A and B are shown apart, each in its own frame.
Chain A
Amino acid sequence: MRRSPKDTEESAAIVSRRGLILGGGMVAFATVLGTRMRHLQVNQADQFRLLAEENRINIRLLPPPRGQIFDRNGLLIAGNEQNYRVTIIRDEVDDPEKVLNDLSRLIPLTRKDINDVLEEMGRRSRLVPVTVADRLSWEDVSQVAVNAPALPGITPEFGLSRFYPRSDDYAHIVGYVGPVSDYDLSRIQNPDPLLQIPKFQLGKTGVENKFESSLRGKAGTKRVEVNAVGRVMRELGREEATKGDTLQLTIDTKLQNFVQARLSGESAAAVVIDVTNGDLVAIGSAPAFDPNKFVRGISVADYSSLTESKYRPLANKAVQGTYPPGSTFKMVTALAALEAEEIGIEETIYCGGFTELANRRFHCWKRGGHGKMNLRDSLKQSCDVYYYELAQRVGIENITKMARRLGLGERHDVPMSAVAKGLTPTKAWKAENRGKDWVIGDSLNASIGQGFVLASPLQLAVMTARLATGRAVSPRLVKAVDEKELPATTGEPLGLAKRTLDYIRDGMFAVSNESRGTAYRTRIADKTKRMAGKTGTSQVRNITAAERRAGVFRNEDLPWERRDHALFVGFAPYDNPRYAISVVVEHGGGGSTAAAPIARDIILAAQFDGIPPLSAYPSSQRGRIRSALEELPINDPTDGATQVSEA
């Protein structure tokens, strides 16, 4: 490297000059960087600090535990159980399909599940967590938690889910909860933000639905610090959710269970009411279903078997079902006539088997006729002709008025779904709804609870309770909300003369305690528990003249759908009434054979607070009754109280 000093100096000068230029350039650029830094960190600091807070703080709703429901004795009817699930938030994941596929290696997840979740995510906001899998085992959910770093957007969560320890027994009363549907949301103005929580459960039917606002509780919130993938780092603050109100029903689980067991196998309903305060102690409807299936998401097969069954298990027959009350209505007609003083107590009317009116024969159920009948005998033997005569004397308007005083044709205020109003017809009603004039035949049919008259088992039970007490007993299903007792009332006096009421009750006593009474066979032997009642058999078809001639009378010869409904109403103990009952067995045949035995067993169970002892039954029947009672699918109510989860 030989070069002249001049060359070296010259080049060094160039390098120095250029070096200074470059150095100056670098310092200048550094100044630009410093200025920018100042701009971001000082001038815009507030704005960015706010963004940083938003980045870091996430407000999450804490779903409140749903209020529990207890029976009158404090046994759990509807509670909450621990439920593990996995959710995904669209916003936190780049490729949800891949993540879900990865997840399917840890927990059971079908191709279809994944597609459903993807579809659901498409419909919802990017920030809303979508449930991927529900009701996971602890093992599954732990698997997910451990692998969480590899599953962006996936969060294992635990929540509470509704559980009905009594399964079928309260299916119709309490109903069930289910996930919020779009339809539910569309009906609610200003929906509670809670409802946006995925799989949040809302009361769909029964008490769960009617008491939704008290049972739901109030959402809490928690402010959490999250990192970039939404993982919670720590909690900054929390406002606890307020638990929904606890409900206490008037139902007695033990009796309810007995009622459901006793009704099983039939398509039937029964209502037991405490006549002293209107408490509904049992409301049976059979067949029933397991509401837990609805909470968990019922399978299509299960659901269609419920909807397609001709016994209509989903219907709450006790309050929704309306039936022609048949002869159980006769007390109404009798009371109307007595109050209007159209008939004397000992006055007799002759029954020759039919009444001829307007060229039509109105038959008594007993073709040969009952002969001379007074009021007591007409109830005891359920003579129809006697009431045809009363109907002509008092007229339909008086009968209907009396029916309404006794609680028929009125929608009772009980928190269950689709409580029926029933029908107590008037002339105006027929003109309006049928476009035809009322004819005397309509009155005759109505007098024996046929024709247009319709009543639900609940209404019949209320009617019986009012007859038993002479007071306007009104049914009550909820005993206490949030441990505050709701007022119970014995009801205002109906204003009916005690003498007339006593006479009606005496007639009802004869029905089930005297020989030739229609329910004599189902009498109660225990003198302190004796029941007064009335049988009813209501036709669901007209018996044609041809049939009458051909002698097709026997229900057993007809297809089930065309058989008569069997009814029974009663109260007990006769001397000091405590419980009133109504039983309807759809297409069960005769009231005395199909409904009365059920009513007797139930009202005895109510009075004995458990399975009735054989001593309560007539000695001749004990052998048969013992085996029948033993076969009942009863379960001990205290079993379920501690059994929190079966899943």
Chain B
Amino acid sequence: MSYLEYNLKSVPVGPSKLLYLNWAVVLLLVAIASIGFLMLYSVAGGSMNPWAEPQMKRFALGLVLMFSIALIPTWFLRNIAGLTYAICIVLLLGVEFFGSTGKGAQRWIDLGFMRLQPSELTKITLVLFLAAYYDWLDMKKVSRPFWVIIPVLIIAVPTYLTLRQPDLGTALLLVFGGGGLMFLAGVSWMYFAAVIGAGVGIVVGVFKSRGTDWQFLKDYQYRRIDTFLDPSSDPLGAGYHITQSKIALGSGGWTGRGYMQGTQSRLNFLPEKHTDFIFTTLAEEFGFVGGISLLALYIGVIVFCVFSAISNKDRFASLLTLGIALTFFLFFAVNMSMVMGLAPVVGVPLPLVSYGGSAMLVLMIGFGLIQSAHVHRPR
């Protein structure tokens, strides 16, 4: 199929494109976001403010953004992938030099009307750029060392910059997201085996280096790992988050205490109850049934994206869809693991549910890309 054919025959034109959206995904996203509104309403003690209402506005903006991006032809996205990546790197450097500091970390640039977190945006643009890279790269070269080192560098630069902020959560997401994309593109298993081996080595190194001049992580990061490994060691100090969130979660039981009846979260036992730990409120108020339902919705999104991707014959579109789905997965998987005490506390929000503008808009942009790939798929 020639390029011309591709364009003329199979691709819908104009606003009719909206009919070809992956509406299942849209509905799932709306459902997830609605759960978020409910919970934000609850943690505010039954009030639209300060969280639920702004969150709704942002989601509406996110939907508009998603639909707009869905209309952009995929080839155009592929062409600007390198540019968006470069812009993100510049912005990350900008944060490094001009950013504001919040909670001990330098993460955002104040644009006046909103605070931009370039590291959030990078999660998407990295995927976009890598997908474009592998689309361009000849299949046969994918596993050749030189062509492996290039994407590693593409991942390493923003990762390094986010670690500098320091934002461990985003850095992890970048590594896993980028690495996942390399895996999807067909890079040999051998590399991943080697990386996992090296990863184990680094973990050992991280722990061995503790207390020396060249320790890898900041003290608070070590403490978080410590308390992850043994939360009871400091139940009111650094282990507080994990202990309290497990208590809130566990006290939900099968069906929960009922909407707005959660005591732990509303009484402020839970830190960050409206952001990173919002899942505990859901789990406390709606119990196991509520928690598993949200998880099912997330998995539904993933499944639809995977099927969309593997049925898409365009390599860039497939990679992009899978990469963004993976990023989305990493968000909720890391967040839920953290809340359930399976992972250390790293600042990763529950996608579309946690209060927060940057993450939501970035995710909606990501889904816009997935929709674009879906709409413009070769038929």
Question: What is A's interface to B at a CB cutoff of 8 Å?
Answer: 1, 3, 5, 7-12, 14-16, 18-20, 22-23, 26-27, 29-30, 32-34, 36-38, 40-42, 44-45, 47-49, 51-52, 55-56, 91, 225-229, 233
Q: Which of B94-102, B211-219, B222-230, B297-305 contacts A (4 or more CB under 8 A)?
A: B297-305
Which residues of chain A are near B86, meaning CB under 8 Å? none
CB-contacts of B225-246 with A (<8 A): 236, 244, 246
Knowing A225-B263, A228-B244, the reply to whether A42 touches B254 (Cβ < 8 A) is yes
* Interchain CA distance A638-B340 in the complex, whole Å: 69
* B159 CB-CB contact with A under 8 Å: no
Q: CB within 8 A of A33: which of B184, B312, B336?
A: B336
Which residues of chain A are near B180, meaning CB under 8 Å? 22
Distance in Å: Cβ of A10 to nearest Cβ of chain B: 6
Q: Are A52 and B264 in contact (CB under 8 A)?
A: yes
Distance in Å: Cβ of B340 to nearest Cβ of chain A: 5
Q: Are A26 and B263 in contact (CB under 8 A)?
A: no
* Interchain CA distance A26-B177 in the complex, whole Å: 13
Which residues of chain A are near B312, meaning CB under 8 Å? 12
Q: Are B295 and A22 in contact (CB under 8 A)?
A: no
Q: CB within 8 A of B185: which of A15, A20, A226, A227?
A: A15
Q: Are B264 and A42 in contact (CB under 8 A)?
A: no
Distance in Å: Cβ of B189 to nearest Cβ of chain A: 10
Q: Are B292 and A56 in contact (CB under 8 A)?
A: no
* Interchain CA distance A229-B268 in the complex, whole Å: 8
* B309 CB-CB contact with A under 8 Å: yes
* B64 CB-CB contact with A under 8 Å: no
Which residues of chain A are near B186, meaning CB under 8 Å? 11, 14-15, 18
Knowing A14-B186, A22-B322, the reply to whether A41 touches B315 (Cβ < 8 A) is no
* Interchain CA distance A574-B88 in the complex, whole Å: 111
Closest chain A residue, CB of each to CB of B3:
A1
- A interface majority secondary structure: helix
Knowing A36-B342, A37-B288, A45-B252, the reply to whether A226 touches B322 (Cβ < 8 A) is no
* Interchain CA distance A529-B129 in the complex, whole Å: 116
Closest chain A residue, CB of each to CB of B292:
A34
Q: Are B318 and A15 in contact (CB under 8 A)?
A: yes
Closest chain A residue, CB of each to CB of B139:
A11
The 8 A CB mask of B283-320 against A (1 = contact, 0 = none) is: 10001100110010011001100100110110100110
Which residues of chain B are near A3, meaning CB under 8 Å? 138
Which residues of chain A are near B318, meaning CB under 8 Å? 12, 15-16, 19
Q: Are B139 and A227 in contact (CB under 8 A)?
A: no
* Interchain CA distance A179-B183 in the complex, whole Å: 72
Knowing A15-B185, A19-B318, A20-B310, the reply to whether A41 touches B303 (Cβ < 8 A) is no
7 example contacts (A-B, Cβ-Cβ < 8 A) are as follows A12-B312, A15-B184, A22-B326, A40-B340, A41-B252, A49-B253, A55-B247
Which residues of chain A are near B267, meaning CB under 8 Å? 55-56, 225-228, 233
The 8 A CB mask of B175-219 against A (1 = contact, 0 = none) is: 000001001111000000000000000000000000000000000
Closest chain B residue, CB of each to CB of A7:
B139
Distance in Å: Cβ of A230 to nearest Cβ of chain B: 10
Q: Are B251 and A45 in contact (CB under 8 A)?
A: yes
* Interchain CA distance A26-B299 in the complex, whole Å: 8
Distance in Å: Cβ of B294 to nearest Cβ of chain A: 10
Q: Are A16 and B310 in contact (CB under 8 A)?
A: yes
Distance in Å: Cβ of A155 to nearest Cβ of chain B: 16
* B333 CB-CB contact with A under 8 Å: yes
Closest chain A residue, CB of each to CB of B252:
A41
Which residues of chain B are near A37, meaning CB under 8 Å? 249, 283, 288, 291-292, 295, 336, 340
Q: Are B250 and A47 in contact (CB under 8 A)?
A: yes
Which residues of chain B are near A30, meaning CB under 8 Å? 295, 298-299, 302, 333
* Interchain CA distance A3-B136 in the complex, whole Å: 10
The 8 A CB mask of B34-65 against A (1 = contact, 0 = none) is: 00000000000000000000000000000000
Q: CB within 8 A of B246: which of A9, A12, A40?
A: A40
Q: CB within 8 A of A41: which of B185, B253, B336, B341?
A: B253
Q: Are A11 and B269 in contact (CB under 8 A)?
A: no
* B10 CB-CB contact with A under 8 Å: no
Knowing A12-B313, A22-B326, A40-B340, the reply to whether A52 touches B288 (Cβ < 8 A) is no
Distance in Å: Cβ of A352 to nearest Cβ of chain B: 91
Knowing A8-B313, A14-B139, A15-B186, the reply to whether A52 touches B340 (Cβ < 8 A) is no
Which residues of chain B are near A9, meaning CB under 8 Å? 313
User: Given known contacts A30-B302, A51-B250, A56-B267, what 7 new A-B pairs fall within 8 Å (CB)?
Assistant: A32-B342, A33-B333, A48-B246, A48-B247, A52-B251, A56-B264, A227-B269
The count of chain B contact residues (Cβ–Cβ below 8 Å) is 57
Which residues of chain B are near A14, meaning CB under 8 Å? 139, 185-186
Closest chain A residue, CB of each to CB of B136:
A1
* Interface core residue of B3, B135, B250, B312 (most chain A CB under 10 Å): B250
* Interface core residue of A14, A29, A37 (most chain B CB under 10 Å): A37
Closest chain A residue, CB of each to CB of B269:
A228
Q: Are B269 and A55 in contact (CB under 8 A)?
A: yes
Which residues of chain B are near A27, meaning CB under 8 Å? 299, 302-303
Knowing A1-B136, A228-B267, the reply to whether A45 touches B310 (Cβ < 8 A) is no
The 8 A CB mask of B249-288 against A (1 = contact, 0 = none) is: 1111110000000011001111100000000000100011
Distance in Å: Cβ of A211 to nearest Cβ of chain B: 42
Q: Are B246 and A33 in contact (CB under 8 A)?
A: no
Q: Are A55 and B303 in contact (CB under 8 A)?
A: no
Which residues of chain B are near A12, meaning CB under 8 Å? 312-313, 315, 318
Q: Are B336 and A15 in contact (CB under 8 A)?
A: no
* Interchain CA distance A23-B313 in the complex, whole Å: 18
Knowing A12-B318, A51-B247, A56-B264, the reply to whether A19 touches B254 (Cβ < 8 A) is no
Which residues of chain A are near B291, meaning CB under 8 Å? 37, 41
Q: Are B319 and A15 in contact (CB under 8 A)?
A: yes
Q: Are B184 and A26 in contact (CB under 8 A)?
A: no
* Interchain CA distance A37-B333 in the complex, whole Å: 12
Distance in Å: Cβ of B338 to nearest Cβ of chain A: 11
Distance in Å: Cβ of B237 to nearest Cβ of chain A: 8
Q: Are B306 and A45 in contact (CB under 8 A)?
A: no
Distance in Å: Cβ of B163 to nearest Cβ of chain A: 24
Which residues of chain B are near A225, meaning CB under 8 Å? 263, 267
Q: Are A49 and B251 in contact (CB under 8 A)?
A: yes
Q: Are B250 and A49 in contact (CB under 8 A)?
A: yes
Q: Are A41 and B136 in contact (CB under 8 A)?
A: no
Q: Are B135 and A41 in contact (CB under 8 A)?
A: no
* B20 CB-CB contact with A under 8 Å: no
Distance in Å: Cβ of B282 to nearest Cβ of chain A: 11
* Interface core residue of A5, A14, A44, A48 (most chain B CB under 10 Å): A48
Distance in Å: Cβ of B142 to nearest Cβ of chain A: 9
Q: Are A29 and B302 in contact (CB under 8 A)?
A: no
Which residues of chain B are near A20, meaning CB under 8 Å? 306, 310
* B352 CB-CB contact with A under 8 Å: no
Q: Are B184 and A22 in contact (CB under 8 A)?
A: yes
Distance in Å: Cβ of A89 to nearest Cβ of chain B: 12
Knowing A11-B315, A30-B333, the reply to whether A23 touches B306 (Cβ < 8 A) is yes
Which residues of chain B are near A7, meaning CB under 8 Å? 138-139
Which residues of chain A are near B77, meaning CB under 8 Å? none
* Interchain CA distance A511-B374 in the complex, whole Å: 126
Q: Are B287 and A41 in contact (CB under 8 A)?
A: yes
Which residues of chain A are near B263, meaning CB under 8 Å? 52, 55-56, 225
Q: Are A55 and B264 in contact (CB under 8 A)?
A: yes
Closest chain A residue, CB of each to CB of B307:
A23
Distance in Å: Cβ of A26 to nearest Cβ of chain B: 5
* Interchain CA distance A228-B248 in the complex, whole Å: 12
Knowing A40-B249, A41-B249, A45-B252, the reply to whether A8 touches B268 (Cβ < 8 A) is no
Distance in Å: Cβ of A128 to nearest Cβ of chain B: 16
Q: Are A38 and B288 in contact (CB under 8 A)?
A: yes
Closest chain B residue, CB of each to CB of A50:
B251
Which residues of chain B are near A40, meaning CB under 8 Å? 246, 249-250, 340-341
Q: Are A19 and B184 in contact (CB under 8 A)?
A: yes
Complex A-B, nearest 4 residue pairs according to Cβ-Cβ distance, in ascending order: A48-B250, A52-B251, A23-B306, A227-B267
* Interchain CA distance A1-B317 in the complex, whole Å: 14
